[in-house]
């Protein structure tokens, strides 16, 4: 199966901004969803947390999760991606 442009861009982003060893195994959307579920938060909130990043691309995503993903991406690009290495 050919790799999509989006998948290539995500892989490139991972190479540019490496994650910690634990985050390579379970990134923040999934670990956050587990924490939220264990805390007894509503399923809608757990779903929003789990699907707000590219991990949720093949899941049912609410409009609220789309909004959070947009904000999360904006913050990432304005902070982490905006930093320059010295």
The pair of structure tokens assigned to 7 is 């998948």
Per-residue model confidence as pLDDT tens digits over 23-82: 566 777 888 899 999 999 999 999 999 998 887 778 888 899 889 989 988 888 888 766
pLDDT of residue 11: 57
pLDDT of residue 84: 56
Residues 6+ apart with CB under 8 A from 28: 53
Phi, psi angles (nearest 5°) of residue 36: -65, -40
Global pTM?
Answer: 0.60
Query: Of 66, 26, 72, 23, nearest to 47 (Cα)?
Result: 66
């Amino acid at each position: 199966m050919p790799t999509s442009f989006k998948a290539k861009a995500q892989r490139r982003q991972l190479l540019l901004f490496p994650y910690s060893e634990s985050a390579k195994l379970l990134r923040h959307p999934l670990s956050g969803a587990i924490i939220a579920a264990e805390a007894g938060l509503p399923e809608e909130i757990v779903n929003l947390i789990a699907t707000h990043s590219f991990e949720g691309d093949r899941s049912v995503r609410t409009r609220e999760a789309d909004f959070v993903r947009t904000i999360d991406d904006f913050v990432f690009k304005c902070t982490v991606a905006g930093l320059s290495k010295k």
